[in-house]
Structure 1
Amino acid sequence: MSSKVTEPRKVSKAELKFREAFERLKAGKPDILPKGTPLSQNNVAKEAGVDPSALRRARFPELVADIQSWIETHKGESPQKSPRQMMLAQRSRNRDLQEQNHALKAQRDNALSLLLDAQTRISELTLENQRLRAQLPQSNVHHLSTSPKR
């Protein structure tokens, strides 16, 4: 019975750098790129400190396949954000809320102004109505009272 002994394949220095960069990006602790950078084939090469065109499928088929499979299995996850990115996002949300608050205050003030105008107009019309009723001539219509039955 013969058994095949496979020798471990030799890993080049370049592939070792790419693998280390890949692991750092997976862990969310890159050395070169900012934290929170999404994992991609180009970003692995950049994290390794080389041009993205250096990491080619023809030269590193297993590594590229590993990167692509990791990306495929983790594509539904939201990328980690750096504290700076989270702070900027919070500032943006706060700014949006402040703008919304100012818009609502302006809308409230406008509605209050319209309400006061309407109340003033109602008061004016009520006074005019009372004045005109006072100017009406006395009616010469006499109401007949019902006389008692005889």
Structure 2
Amino acid sequence: MRTSDKQREGSSAEQRFRDAFERLKLGVPQVLPKGTPVSQNNVAKEAGCDPSALRKSRFPLVVLEIQEWVETHKGEQPPSVRQRLLKKRGKNRDLRETISDLKKQRDAAVGKLADAGLRIVELTERLADAQARLDELQPRAPVLKLSD
């Protein structure tokens, strides 16, 4: 391949990257799904290339423009699908941990309630036994009714 052919190939590749960059900035990608955030890898993918094809050593101005744009529009871009998925997984993990903690608390409360119920039955029986012994030792005086 001659030098002029390489130059033309490089400039056409650079133009494809620039076009892909513009489409992603405008939110109208042709290859990637809509809403895909602008990144160096996504620009390469949108241009129909492997992400490793868009190297700083070969296309320093394009890469610099992408990096500057990403830096200045950091808060404006919606989170990527991967970031949303990771956030959702984290939330689900938190919910599973909360559910697990609540189940442990419920089980502990049910155990305490069962123990308390058993203790109430034991104390009621002891009270009945003590009342029976007291009645044996000290009979109750009959209740007198006043007649009309």
Amino acid at match of 2:110: L
Q: 1:132 to 1:108 in 2, by over 3 A?
A: same
Q: In the alignment, does 2:12 pair up with 1:13?
A: yes
Moved over 4 A (4+): 85-103
Q: 1:15 to 1:102 in 2, by over 3 A?
A: same
CA RMSD in angstroms, aligned pairs only:
4.0
Equivalent pairs counted in the alignment come to 128
Q: Percent identity?
A: 57
Match of 2:50 in 1: 51
Q: d(CA) in 2 for partners of 1:91 and 1:67?
A: 30
Kept in 2, the 8 Å contact 1:35–1:81? The answer is no
Kept in 1, the 8 Å contact 2:30–2:46? The answer is yes
Q: d(CA) in 2 for partners of 1:124 and 1:44?
A: 76
Structure having the higher helix fraction is: 2
Q: 1:27 to 1:61 in 2, by over 3 A?
A: same
- What is the deviation of 1:124? 1.9
3-state secondary structure, aligned to 1:12: helix
- What is the deviation of 1:66? 1.0
Kept in 2, the 8 Å contact 1:36–1:80? The answer is no
Residues 1-150 of structure 1 correspond to what in structure 2 (within 5 A)?
12-80=11-79, 97=95, 100-101=98-99, 104=102, 107-108=105-106, 110-136=108-134, 138=137
Q: d(CA) in 2 for partners of 1:32 and 1:17?
A: 12
Amino acid at match of 2:44: A
Give TM-score scaled by structure 1 length.
0.58
Q: d(CA) in 2 for partners of 1:73 and 1:109?
A: 52
Provide, for residues 54-103 of structure 1, a one-character-per-residue CA deviation record: whole Å limited to 9, x for no partner: 32334433222211101111234453456xx9799779857965784576
Kept in 1, the 8 Å contact 2:56–2:63? The answer is yes
Structure 1, unaligned stretches of length 5 or more? 1-9, 140-150
Amino acid at match of 1:111: A
Kept in 2, the 8 Å contact 1:36–1:79? The answer is yes
Q: d(CA) in 1 for partners of 2:86 and 2:67?
A: 30
Q: 1:86 to 1:35 in 2, by over 3 A?
A: farther
Match of 1:6 in 2: none
Provide, for residues 11-57 of structure 1, a one-character-per-residue CA deviation record: whole Å limited to 9, x for no partner: 93222211111122223333223444432222211210123333233
